[in-house]
Amino acid sequence: METVGTTDLIELEGVEKVFDVRKKTGFLRRERHQVRAVDGISFTVPRGEMVGYIGPNGAGKSTTIKMLTGILTPSGGRLRVAGIVPSRERTRLAQRIGVVFGQRTTLWWDLPLIDSYRLVHRMYRIPDARFRENLDRCVELLELGALLDVPVRQLSLGQRMRGDIAAALLHDPEVLYLDEPTIGLDVISKAKVRGFLRDLNTQSGTTVLLTTHDLTDIEQLCERVMVIDHGRLMYDGPLAGLHEVGESERTLVVDLERELPPMEIESARVVKVEGPRQWLAFPAAQSAAPLVARIAARYPMADLSVREPDIEAVIAKMYAEKATS
Amino acid sequence: MADLTKTRAGQAGQPGRAGPPGQEGTGRLAQVRSGLRAYRLISAMWIRSLMAYRLSFVMSALGNFAVTAFDFAAILLMFSQVDRLGGYALAEVAFLYGASCTAFGLADLALGSMDRLGRRVRDGTLDTLLVRPAPVLAQVAADRFGLHRLGRLTQGALVLTYALVVLDIDWAPLKVLMVPLMLVSGAGIFAAVFMAGAAFQFVAQDAAEVQNAFTYGGTTLLQYPPTVFAKDLVRGVTFVLPLAFVNWLPALYVLGRPYPLDLPVWTAFAPPPVAVACLALAGLAWRAGLRSYRSTGS
């Protein structure tokens, strides 16, 4: 069952993870019940792709990542990364993957940044020339030059995150897992991290799986997005398609020449009125042109603009629909 | 990273093979080697981290020395009132004390920070160790490697040296051999207790104190001759948690003293196999603990 020649670097087939949770119900009494953190997930990620993996807290994102890195053993299903079963050959897999936990640094707090890299160098047995080449590249692209001799505890959050990303890439991993890589960063730091990841993916062909709460990360980096909720994959496809699935709406902002009562237009509804300005919601899949024409024919229009739907809202809507259905 | 795609293509063609050259396979021996290597690398990092705060390091090493020295001061104080303790003279008690302290000091230096595992399990930072290409046991053992623990070891070694100088022993070759054997096996037994305690913390994350009761408590117990304790307690630390093999049985052989519980004399030579057995059991416990972590998460 080797995956020789296939281009799929990550393969999941009906992967499950069931936790036994014991709840204290009395002084010594405990009730046991099972939680299906991941409930039959299947997907593949081809080499060189950059995928966003999103979902609300407790949806099963981290559990999936932990299974993909070999930290957790799946309760069922088939799972392979680079042809390796993670839970069975954890240390061998470790040589071929890079992991960045956004909230837990792997850098050495009291030592200069460069020391952490030297440890990676030796622990991963990276050939000297390769190490120097990779380090130089990371230092240049992540702007770490001035930070190498600074103890990690003195770095800002953004600097540390960049430092962590570099540490995860020195051994040339084929897959990079990023768990909330931009959490807590300021706008400039976020932009730097995103820029670097984009270059990494396009130039080195590193496969990237990214979990995030910041949808801008996804919008700017990922062609493909997977949405997970309650341990199930709810959506897997291009970012644009998410709107259709979520039945999202675009907004037409119309400035009229004077204040008027809410307009009455078919296939669109007024959601907000503020003086002469009115907001109309219409299905995202529908073209705006005929709608504009209809409005122009019946109302004195001064100006207009179209707003694309917010993915956050789309996903929230998707969750809400799932919950009520 | 520039010529990355080339190497990858190579790797993709033969995914069944082990990684880069020089990397060990999955054999037991290779695993031990890779573990020791990781231990060395990580403990060296902690030593360097400690050196970032030199003064603090010196203070804690001195403190570590002083705290244990108080233990011996207490014994000296007792001997200012009595000539014998449980039938043992000061030099003999010093021998037991020094042996216990040195053996424990070695294990404590090597694995003393394993009781932090519970915290790593609780806050999830154990995960960062699990994604590295090295055995977790070695990484946890080297975690927060504390060179200041040399204080305890030094103190034990000093008392042991004092006892060896003062004691009037008829040194036969076997007795000479017994001393290093005792220290190494004793360290092994304590190391097993540290490991088993850490393994227990996979299940009960706040059990560091339970572990300390056996490690620090155990070494304090062994600093006194077995004759001062109740028989049941001596039985317990012989047959259940075999701490008696750390120093009592081999030391009594060196001192030419009668054995507790009417044990045969050959038990003096049991510490090495006992240590190996304890380490093997602790290893199994560790594996079970790690497996439960990896299948339940936290």
Query: Could you tell me the CATH number of the domain that includes residue A282?
Result: 3.30.70
Residues of chain A positioned with their CB less than 8 A from the CB of B16: 2, 83
- Which residues on neighbouring strands pair with residue A30, listed in sequence order? A24
A75, A23: one domain: yes
A36, A165: one domain: yes
Q: Which of A4, A108, A123 to mutate to test the interface with B (most CBs of B within 10 A)?
A: A123
Predicted local distance difference test score (pLDDT) of residue A3: 43
Residue carrying the six token digits 């014998």: B84
* Domain CATH number, residue A88: 3.40.50.300
User: Which residue of A3, A72, A111 is in closest CB contact with B48?
Assistant: A111
The phi, psi pair for A162, rounded to 5°, reads -60, -40
Residue carrying the six token digits 């750390």: B246
Residue A323: inside a domain = no
Domain span holding position A267 = 249-308
The phi, psi pair for A299, rounded to 5°, reads -130, 150
The greatest distance separating any two alpha carbons of chain A, rounded to the nearest whole angstrom, comes to 75
Interface contact B56, partner A, CB < 8 A: no
Contact call for residues A149 and A112 (beta carbons, < 8 A): yes
Both tokens of B115, joined, read 């009781």
Q: Which of A243, A272, A288 is the last residue of a domain?
A: A243
A81, A60: one domain: yes
Return d(Cα A96, Cα A207) in angstroms, integer. Answer: 11
Residues of chain B positioned with their CB less than 8 A from the CB of A106: 128
A25, A158: one domain: yes
What does the domain layout of chain B look like in residue ranges?
28-296
**Long-range contact list for B55-60, CB < 8 A, 24+ apart?**
B57/B147, B57/B148, B60/B146, B60/B148, B60/B151
For every one of its 325 residues, what pLDDT tens digit does chain A have, with 9 covering 90 and above? 444 445 889 999 999 999 887 776 667 777 778 888 999 999 999 999 999 998 887 888 889 999 999 999 999 999 999 999 999 999 999 999 999 988 888 999 999 999 999 999 999 999 999 999 999 999 999 999 999 999 999 999 989 999 999 999 999 999 999 988 888 888 888 898 899 999 999 988 899 999 987 878 888 899 899 998 889 998 899 887 877 776 677 889 999 998 888 988 888 889 889 989 999 988 877 888 888 999 988 999 899 988 877 666 777 777 776 666 5
A-contacting residues of B 110-139, CB under 8 Å? 124-125, 127-128, 130-135
Taking an 8 Å cut-off on Cβ atoms, the answer to whether A172 and B7 are in contact is yes
A199, A288: one domain: no
A234, A167: one domain: yes
Taking an 8 Å cut-off on Cβ atoms, the answer to whether B294 and A71 are in contact is yes
Separation in Å, CA of B1 to nearest CA in chain A: 5
A234, A272: one domain: no
Return d(Cα A271, Cα A281) in angstroms, integer. Answer: 7
Q: Which of A243, A264, A289 is the last residue of a domain?
A: A243
Q: What is the mean pLDDT of residues B82-86?
A: 90
A261, A146: one domain: no
Residue A195: inside a domain = yes
User: Which residue of A4, A111, A172 is in closest CB contact with B15?
Assistant: A4
Three-state DSSP class for residue A70? coil
Count of the separate structural domains present in chain A: 2
Return d(Cα A82, Cα B207) in angstroms, integer. Answer: 38
Category of B231 on φ-ψ map: left (φ > 0), alpha (ψ -120 to 50) or beta? alpha
- Which ranges constitute the DSSP H helices of B14-135? 28-51, 54-79, 90-111, 117-123, 126-130
Share of chain B above pLDDT 90, in %: 54
| Nearest residue to B100 via CA among B225, B8, B198, B193 | B225
Q: What is the mean pLDDT of residues B178-204?
A: 93
| pTM, 2 dp | 0.82
Interface contact B19, partner A, CB < 8 A: yes
Task: Render pLDDT for B30-79 as a digit per residue (tens, 0 to 9).
Answer: 889 999 999 999 999 999 998 888 898 999 999 989 988 888 999 999 99
Both tokens of B116, joined, read 């932090």
Residue A26: inside a domain = yes
Residues of chain B positioned with their CB less than 8 A from the CB of A94: 131-133
Return d(Cα A143, Cα A191) in angstroms, integer. Answer: 13
Residues of chain B positioned with their CB less than 8 A from the CB of A109: 49
Category of B135 on φ-ψ map: left (φ > 0), alpha (ψ -120 to 50) or beta? beta
A-contacting residues of B 133-192, CB under 8 Å? 133-135
Residue A191: inside a domain = yes
Residue A313: inside a domain = no
